Amino acid sequence: MVLGGTMGLHLAVRIAKLMNIELGDIEVKKFPDGETYIRVKSNVEGKNVIYINSLQRNPNDQVIETIYTLETLRDLGAEKVIAIIPYMAYARQDDRFNPGEAISIRILGKLFRSIKVDRIYTIDMHLHRIRDPREVFGEGFRNLTAVKELAKYVKKHYNLENTVVIGPDEESEQWAKIMAEELGVDFGVLEKRRITAEQVTIEAKGVNVKERDVVIVDDIISTGGTIEAAVKALGNLGARNIIVTCAHPLLVGNALPRLLKLNIVDLIGTDTVLSPISKVSVAPVLVEALKKDLKT
């Protein structure tokens, strides 16, 4: 059986259809005093249960809803509990950048470990300073990627004859590499280079973008600042048509109009977080992983 939380129900529906399994029912509401009420309405006793929820738009509400639901599923006698967190909140606070800061993702991981789930899947989690996320989230943790699905969409809709893939900064190299392999093209990343104390240039490392079409790929688009800088730099470097892709289109505040102003051909995200650019579903990625998992 597959169940969805407030920010995961759309994916639960899609997975239930793709796997031809039962879609269960959970009642979630807020009391007037702001407390979350959860009731699992389907009978889960003795069943393998998949629960999906993204930790967005109000991440704290979603953390509580997710942890309360997962614990309740176990408490109600579910046999195996698989948690899918397509978008994991707090992943960027993965170190103490300034003295005294909470390393939020480690604490969130601890909360997840305190309730016992058999698997935690997530998608393209931003994990740059944590070597082994299983230390944080437990042995059942798996970080899947949506980049192949993004690549399929790009392949289907665009001619890739003269195309390269670009990650907007060094941290995005991992995703640029996967995208490039899927598309069968070269890739590189953008890099800042300081010329003088005042002057900084951005260069494409590992690939020439001049007079070539570019597919940008990143994990998260939040305020859109990184992408805006990348598109402008690529324009200066002589790139032609630019397509922007990302796994998690958070699109905070004015990010969408900010990106729409740019000279780009398409703007593509997935449905880990529902948005006006969620053109690609991660359901097939999740189904593939689930099938492998449930076989064993």
Residues of this chain that interact with a second copy (CB under 8 A) are: 4, 6, 9-10, 12-14, 23, 32-42, 56-61, 63-64, 67-69, 71-72, 75-76, 89-90, 93, 98, 100-104, 107, 110-111, 113-115, 222-223, 250, 252-254, 256-257, 260-261, 271, 274-276, 278
Distance of alpha carbon 188 from alpha carbon 186, whole angstroms: 7
Nearer to a second copy, 75 or 211 (CB): 75
From the candidates 17, 41, 192, 261, give the one annotated as an active-site residue.
192
Minimum CB distance to a second copy, residue 203 (Å): 29
Which of 6/245 has CB closer to a second copy? 6
Hey, is 189 helix, strand or coil?
strand
192 is a catalytic site residue: yes
Residue 270 DSSP label: E
| DSSP-derived secondary structure for 200-246 | EEEEEESS--TT-EEEEEEEEESSSHHHHHHHHHHHHTT--SEEEEE
Find the Cα–Cα–Cα–Cα dihedral 149, 152, 154, 155, rounded to 10°: 170
Distance CA 224, CA 82 (A): 32
Q: Which amino acid is at 230?
A: A
Residue 107 CB contacts under 8 Å (≥ 6 apart), including other chains = none
Instruction: Please report how close the Cβ of residue 7 comes to a second copy at its closest, in angstroms.
Output: 10
Q: State in angstroms the smallest separation of the CB of 30 from a second copy.
A: 9
User: For the chain, first and last CA: distance in Å?
Assistant: 17
- How near is the Cβ of 123 to a second copy at its closest, in Å? 16
Strand order, beta sheet including 119-123: 2-4, 48-52, 80-85, 119-123, 141-144
| Interior/surface letters 131-168, b for 16+ CB within 10 angstroms, e for the rest | eebeebbbebbbbbbbbebbbebbeeebebeebbbbbb
Closer of 33 and 161 to a second copy (Cβ): 33
C-beta closer to a second copy: residue 25 or 203: 25
Any residues with CB less than 8 A from the CB of 99 and at least 6 apart, and which? Answer: none
Return the number of the residue (200 or 260) whose C-beta is nearest a second copy.
Answer: 260
Q: Which is nearer to a second copy, 113 or 177 (CB)?
A: 113
Quote the least distance from Cβ 268 to a second copy, whole Å: 13
Least CB distance from residue 164 to a second copy, whole Å? 26
Give the length of the chain.
Answer: 296
Residue positions annotated with a catalytic role: 192
